[in-house]
Structure 1
């Protein structure tokens, strides 16, 4: 399908409103595709309820201790980061509902996406508390602090920036969940996070396909948005308490680091969309494409240096 609109031929004619209207048909098609492949699942089926028991406090149960957790230390750190990220759903919903609207296919997708994302926090919290995987008091205090700050992503310049951001961010979240499950050491946790990762992958496909249509419709603006998002990408949980330290532990633990970000998140989306091979760009689009290519080359070099330092650190720790 060729996306054209005669009265919007000039790049400067593409307001957010015009783009939302022009992409409505694509959103409807992708929504129908998503509903056709998404499978219903029940959060309660992924929780080991028989492992649960009362905590200390008004129920006069047993206080939490690290040795009660079946999850590895790095796994616990990543689970808290991942859950706090999912917890901020009300702020994410506000962001995308404000940008994409609540009517038509856009609105239907926004609400469907929110409903699906809501299951992730439900099942993760139920699992963590029932299995005593993490400290419940610390988890709740972090949740209160993180959600009290709200969320405003770094790329509010335009609707295209938002579409580009979520295309990469959904894949980054999928990768983080999947790697956390593998690192956790608990098959129950691994199965639960694999189920969540499947949702995140479907969400990524929706936004990636929408970004592909945007590149066809407004190539210069879409290329600039992709350049801006990729070169300044941050995960949505960057504002949570202790994020920098947690991110460092996750990087060393192989859950999410520069190499993973380059190889498993940025490159797959850029390659699928043929971003660096796109032709027919104007001066601004060509400049953005060139800057993006240079950035990816530099990021690969940074990832190589990180890999060497990580390998040396792990080797030293293994000997000690």
Structure 2
């Protein structure tokens, strides 16, 4: 049977479990946090005092911090791209009445993720520390440019990607929250930490999707995992740019800031791979095809290989003048 047909059959076979995954890993809209829970209440007489407090606390945060926070915010704001991509994955059908369980998952996941960009964008606006028009143009460029994460319409590869990326964003937001707390910015720290909590729930959900697929098609799932790691997991914002730039020019510079701050590093990438290998019990999978056995050998040895490469890697130490924050006079 063609590989595409096998994937579709597997997606259809495990679809009845998806509603249960939604109950386990997503939260009701009426009870989950909303951006207004962490921002000044515009209806309150104390609104301007609260905004003043945000602006004063924001002055304690350094240049690299603001670059990373802007990059994280723009990444979250490009959500329309991610939803449209996932809706096109094999086995996800949004056209049959309200759609199948997979499409309901994508909509519910998107609805939760949407709050992240909202709260961070409003915080940036109130902080007075960034050039919002430049940030907004970057967001529009990123959505307009789209992205190619190397997964095509393959559900196996897409779920490997989302599992990896949700954990990566968990790490990034959690570290930014820690840095904010160290500077006495407790409100921003709370925002970042609660976003990180969402990302962890989503990571666990996508990891469970992959684990379930391993139960149905271990060889196919293992080879898809290996293929994604051979291509390397590219960040959702790998086409990040500032106004007047070509797509992708700002991403490496943004990544240098994240590396300097220790927000997201090459070692984090390796640690995530190790965690996925362990979580999916790669070494103990049985009844594999010959190609899948080779894929497993590759995945088991890959962390050590990447660590050797990471030891030789270097990243930019010089602060690039981003249009997002250069008006603050922090350089």
Fold agreement, TM-score > 0.5: yes
1:286 deviation in Å? 0.5
Post-superposition Cα deviations, 1:232-273, rounded to whole Å, max 9, x if no partner, equal 11111111111111101211210111111212x222222111
Which residue among 55, 74, 84 is the counterpart of 2:64? Answer: 74
Q: Does the aligned pair in 2 maintain the 1:69–1:134 contact within 8 Å?
A: no
Partner of 1:255: 263
Counterpart CA distance in 2 for 1:196 and 1:256 is 16
Which residue among 165, 174, 177 is the counterpart of 1:178? Answer: 174
Q: Alpha carbons of 1:127 and 1:296: their partners in 2 closer, same or farther (altered >3 Å)? A: same
Partner of 2:73: 83
RMSD, aligned CA:
2.6
Partner of 1:46: 38
Q: Alpha carbons of 1:89 and 1:293: their partners in 2 closer, same or farther (altered >3 Å)? A: same
Which residue among 276, 284, 294 is the counterpart of 1:287? Answer: 294
Partner of 1:233: 233
1:1-320 correspondence to structure 2 within 5 Å: 12=3, 14-35=5-26, 40-48=32-40, 50=48, 51-52=50-51, 69-99=59-89, 100-102=92-94, 103-156=99-152, 158-184=154-180, 185=183, 186-231=185-230, 232-241=232-241, 242-263=250-271, 265-306=272-313
Higher helix share: 1
Normalised TM-score (structure 2): 0.80
SS of 1:29's equivalent in the other structure is helix
1:66 deviation in Å? 12
Counterpart CA distance in 1 for 2:82 and 2:147 is 7
SS of 2:238's equivalent in the other structure is helix
1:222 deviation in Å? 0.4
SS of 1:207's equivalent in the other structure is helix
Gaps of 5+ in 2: 41-46, 242-249, 318-331
Q: Alpha carbons of 1:246 and 1:35: their partners in 2 closer, same or farther (altered >3 Å)? A: closer
Could you tell which deviates more after superposition, 41-50 or 249-258?
Answer: 41-50
